[in-house]
Structure 1
Amino acid sequence: MATLIAEIENTSTQLPATRIASEHCFTTSDGTELFYRAWAPQGKSSQAVLLFHRGHEHSGRWQDVVDRIGMEETWFFAFDARGHGRSPGERGYAESFGRMVRDADEFVRHLSVTHGIAVADMAVVAQSVGAVLAAAWVHDYAPPIRAMVLATPALRIKLYVPGAIAGLRLLRKVKPKSFIRSYVKPRMLTHDQEQAQLYADDELITPQIATNILLDVHHTSTRLIEDAGAIVAPTLLLSSSADYVVESKPQQQFFDRLGSAVKEREVYPSFYHSTFWEKERDLPIARTREFIERQFEDPAPVASLLEADKSGYSKSICDDLEQPLSLLSPKRWAYALQKLGMNTGGRLSRGVRIGWRTGFDSGESLDHVYRNRAEGTTFIGRMIDRAYLDSPGWRGIRQRKVHMLELLDRAIARTAQRGEAVRLLDIAAGPGRYVLEAIQRHADVEMSTVLCDRDVGGLDWGRALAKSMGITSVDYRQSDAFDADAIAAQTPRPNIAVVSGLYELFPDNGPIRESLRGLAAAIPAGGLLLYTNQPWHPQQEMIARVLPNRDGDPWVMRCRTQVEMDQLVAAAGFRKLETLVDDEGIFSVSMAVREG
């Protein structure tokens, strides 16, 4: 360590910029142009470090770190989050934190295309709220990055006021677009007076943050701490013990639960919050450089998760859910009362009735969720149905549909641009409402569609739905989505295949791999596969202990990490192109291309 520190001049003054940043913009999927800086290497390089700034700040703040860290043969990139720095938007505001995480993913894909740098040759360095954003991106989108350095992640912000989160939730309901002004003074961030003054004088730093973003960071952090086992990227966590801004205990909990085979933590006892801008910042900068260079030179092997259904993180959670709770457990009786209520008065709700009759995971149940219209017996029944439809999982299901339609639109356009007629196959469509809606929107595209399902009732419902929508070009067929030979034999041979809401219902990987084998045989090279996943669910235990599935058994789900799901798809011969995730991180939709 002493050698590493000696390699960088230990001085509290701001170094003159030795690497000049070029300035650029990239356009996000919602049409917003976000600003970013690029620090080019001395020569050609296929490696990059991505820098994520903390809340209130901007990409220009990283200049001193880039100058001090060395690594002259490596690209450095940093973007201004929307509502920050030179990016547009009301200061400190975004529609959601999930939108900001998606911006990060789109930024990385832009860099990969523009500069020809593979995501597998990128590392991440992030501070505070930026560290939460980076961790959420790695958790939800599963990019195969080389390493991740998280400095004082804002997993729990010190709000000091009792009941602050409850108060912010109330404020958000009363005034959805509201703002909180930061209590943090520059002297609370660093012992370095010069750095504190530079912070105070920086006109691009905004002191306010939107209430919705503050709450979203809190909720996202809760999810990340709980589900840190899903993160497998090599991770270095840097913590400051004298931090006035964020709590240290959640950082330790997150670190302890990380699923990374390579994970290291460094604690700086006297540091304030701004780890990379402290008086002795050469210590964390040198540690960061050493960790990243080690992962670039000798990358940790990527662990195979193809048999994660047999042992490991997600399997242990699933095993626990299959075991009955103790008779003395308060949760056992709470779930029993909830089940009794849903099976009696809950039946006034049409959605709950459908769930008990066909299974809460059935195609008919999901069709009711997609329509999102509260129905029931009496006004009370409709109230119950509205509460049922507004549960987190069903909100996520509807967002999954939006994302599926978004990727389906792109897949249809991409296929049509190649001059091919679209041949679409959905192997577990149920009624297939979202596919029918896509057909309506692309009436000018030559398209043949086969919608399969094992449930005759769901197929009959779909035929009636298609007729009501005036669509006659769809062929509904009864078929087993886990029969590889049956999938491979489907005609016409599809150039777009869809698997939506299926694999996440089954904990074992064997049937999933068999299904993917059939899809790989059915789809020609260059064809596209759209698939969904459920990496996490806030009501996983309640669902397992209260609700039945379509077979009448307890609906026990094993939440596959996105890394595992992507590995299963890759093992079948597909390469993932992109992923979309809802704001709560419950459901993902991905598109992959069949390799030659």
Structure 2
Amino acid sequence: MRQQQQKTFTSHDGCQIFYRYWPAIDGDIQPKQAIVLFHRGHEHSGRIAHLADELELPNFQIFAWDARGNGQSEGERGDAPNFATLIKDANAFIEHITQEYSLRQQDIAIIAQSVGAVIASAWAHDYTPNIRALVLGAPAFRVKLYVPLAVPGLKLLYNLKGNFFVNSYVKSGLLTHDKQRAESFNQDPLITRPISVRLLLDLYSVADRIVKDANAITVPTQILVSGSDFVVRRKPQKQFYENLGTTQKEFHILPNFYHDTFGEQERHIAIERARRFIIGCFANQPNTPSLVNADLVGYTKQEADNLSLPVKGIVKPLYWKFIKANLKYASKISDGIKLGVETGFDSGSTLDYVYRNQPSGSSKLGQFFDYIYLQSMGWRGIRQRKIHLEELLKLAISQLQKDDNIVNIVDIAAGHGRYILETINQLANKPDSVLLRDYSDINIRDGQNLINELGLSHLVQFEKGDAFNRQQLAELSPKPTLAVVSGLYELFSDNSLLRESLSGLADAIPKGGYLIYTNQPWHPQLEFIARALTSHRDGQPWVMRRRTQLEMDQLVMAAGFRKVTMRIDQWGIFTVSLAQRID
């Protein structure tokens, strides 16, 4: 029997998370290897503690957490601010154990069940960890709610009355044929039966996104499906498997298994398959696919190509004509939509308008249209991206100052530069210099006005420049120690442009300097944007090619930067990353 240790770590927002740790039987084996366990919804790490011995992997360290709001961890029972908070907790957990126990990500395998499997797969999708294997038992990509129209009904009630809690209908008899384990479930005081509707609805939303975009997950993955599962649906599990972006994947249906895959009476079958898969993955060398040419071949390129084609049929062309006619009408009375039509919905002027978030129009109806426009998910994501940009700007500036380095900032496509200027205005200890650059005369004019308005003309300069000209960037003066590229690379599909830009920044930034860059790995309204909105580039349709986070990170790494940390909004649309110059 392994010796269990009980510990806690502090997550990203200060929440104390409880976890169990089982050291390897032979702790001298190098490199150190680890299994991380994620329990199912409503439960806690004690419910999967039996796996520490039953896996029969004595030379692996094993970790299992109590998710926020469950078991012995802090947080309101059965609740979290959103599902993204749990995903971010998972990232903080992995960061903690890699640092505390001297582990490498590539020496970690994940075993996760039910809701825990959704957390683990979403983490693998969003944060692109270089882990060795992912084993998912009965992933809860779609919970069976037997009441007709349950989800629309819950959404309506949530919008009317705010957050509230519902009790799980799942009884122990629907989880396992193991009578002893079923009884322990009934008697366990740490089981959390209520779940907030906010979290439940968010689970549906995140799971839908991850299933649709599973091609972005390149970690070797095994899915163990309970054959007689009354709790979750099988169809999304199969769709997830079919969409996975790894060639090393397995899909097993376990006949007569109830939902508690790793707690069933015949669980040795599931455990043996998980053990064999993990051993096999560790026997192979880590093999992350190269995506630096995904602009030429890959599923996001195919997606963008399809969006650039004319709409076929009779109904769809009429539908998009109707949508564009409505936008044209709205642009006459809504200031935000009018600005988008005139300058492009991806222009610096539109971005600054979205940041300000003050609905405006020529009438009450126009103001209402403007409010709806500004509250679209994409623009909410943009404003969250601004918050994350400011957070990482402060972090990088602080670290440079802590190391007694000069802080010379450059933003190579600043738009109006609002996020940098407002961040600098908040700092008691200012950077040494700030250089804003942009290709647009309009952005330079309006950005200079904002500099003057904020009283920063003594510190900040604004000049015209080409963000994709390697020589211009390499010759920046003063030499930047912190470069920012926000909202630029997402607008251009061609990776050769990014290589030129990143190489120029690598030429300019000394070793130890920082790069902040943004990415858009997902957007739920890609077709609407491509069919209805126009770009700043000559009013052409705004067709975007998404880059998976792995593709973007690999391009940055190829230029000589090592990623340090990352932020992502709760919808999974925009990321902001901080990397350090290492060559």
Q: TM-score range by the shorter chain?
A: over 0.9
Q: Which residue of 2 aligns with 1:569?
A: 556
Q: Measure how far apart 1:593 and its partner are.
A: 0.8
Please state how far the C-alpha of 1:300 moved relative to its aligned partner: 5.0
- Which residue number corresponds to residue 337 of structure 1? 322
User: Which secondary structure state, in structure 2, belongs to the residue aligned with residue 348 of structure 1?
Assistant: coil
Structure 2 spans left out of the alignment, 5+ residues: none
Task: Write the deviation string for residues 11-53 of structure 1: whole angstroms up to 9, x where unpaired.
Answer: xxxxxxx112211111122111111111111213521111111
2:140 pairs with one of 123, 129, 154: 154
Q: Secondary structure at the match of 2:70?
A: coil
Q: Is the 8 A contact 1:520 1:573 kept in 2?
A: yes
Equivalence for 1:5? none
Counterparts of 1:300-315 in structure 2, within 5 Å, are 300-315=286-301
In structure 2, the partner of 1:355 is: 340
**Correspondent of 2:112 among 126, 131, 156:** 126
Cα deviations by residue, 1:236-260 (Å, 9 ceiling, x for unpaired) = 0110120010001111111111111
Partner-residue secondary structure (3-state), 1:172: helix
Show the counterpart of 2:565: 578
Partner of 1:384: 369
The answer to whether structure 1 residue 406 and structure 2 residue 385 are counterparts is no
RMSD between aligned alpha carbons?
A: 1.1
The Cα shift of 1:155 comes to 0.5
Q: Describe the superposition over 1:265-318 as per-residue Cα deviations: whole angstroms up to 9, x where unpaired.
A: 111021000000001101111111111111112135221101011111111101
Amino acid at match of 2:206: T
AA paired with 1:560? R
Q: Are the aligned partners of 2:397 and 2:431 in contact in 1 as well (CA < 8 Å)? A: no
Identical counterparts, % of pairs: 47
Q: Say whether the 8 Å CA contact 2:521–2:574 is kept in structure 1.
A: yes
Work out the CA distance in 1 between the residues paired with 2:563 and 2:414.
22
User: Which deviations, in whole Å up to 9, do the C-alpha atoms of 1:168-206 show, x marking residues without a partner?
Assistant: 112212232210100000111001101101111111111
Paired amino acid for 1:183: Y
Contact 2:421 2:451 (C-alpha < 8 Å) held by counterparts: yes
CA deviations over 1:408-458 (Å, ceiling 9, x no partner)? 111111111001231111111111101011111113234310111111101
Asked if 1:36 is matched to 2:36, the reply is no
Corresponding residue SS for 1:204: coil
Q: Which residue of 2 aligns with 1:52?
A: 38
Amino acid across the alignment from 1:500: S
Matched to 1:480, the amino acid is: D
Partners in 1 of 2:336 and 2:282 — Cα distance? 52
Is residue 53–residue 126 contact of structure 1 (8 Å, CA) maintained in 2? Answer: yes
- TM, length-normalised to structure 1: 0.96
**CA–CA distance in 2 between the matches of 1:53 and 1:409?**
36
| Alpha-carbon distance in 2 for matches of 1:38, 1:493 | 47
For residue 515 of structure 1, what is the amino acid of its counterpart? S
2:397 counterpart of 1:424: no
1:262 is the counterpart of 2:248: yes
Contact 2:15–2:75 under 8 Å retained in 1? no
In the aligned structure 2, how far is the partner of 1:332 from the partner of 1:221? 31
Structure 1 residue ranges without an equivalent (≥5): 1-17
Residue 398 of structure 1 aligns with an amino acid whose one-letter code is R
Question: Structure 1 residue 181 and structure 2 residue 181: aligned?
Answer: no
Contact kept in structure 1, 2:331 and 2:341, CA below 8 Å: no
1:3 aligns with: none
Match for 1:589 among 559, 572, 576? 576
Name the residue aligned to 1:540. 526
- Deviation by residue 1:515-566 (Cα, 9 ceiling, x = unmatched): 1111111111111111110001000011011111111111110111111111
Counterpart-to-counterpart distance in 1, 2:106 and 2:411:
31
**1:499 corresponding residue in structure 2:** 485
Q: Is the 8 A contact 1:416 1:445 kept in 2?
A: no
**Residue among 97, 115, 118 paired with 2:83:** 97
State the alpha-carbon separation in 1 of the partners of residues 471 and 62 from structure 2: 48
CA distance in 1 between partners of 2:109 and 2:331 (Å): 50
Query: What code does the residue aligned with 1:216 have?
Result: D
CA–CA separation in structure 2 for the residues paired with 1:486 and 1:336: 43
Q: What is the aligned length? A: 578
Counterpart residue number, 2:5: 22
CA contact (8 A) 1:346 1:384 kept: no
In structure 1, what is the Cα distance between the partners aligned to 2:33 and 2:422?
42
Structure 1 window deviating more from structure 2 (113-122 vs 133-142): it is 113-122
Q: Secondary structure at the match of 1:578?
A: strand
Helix, strand or coil for the counterpart of 2:580?
strand
Aligned residue for 2:49, secondary structure, equals helix
Q: Give the superposition deviation at 1:119.
A: 1.2
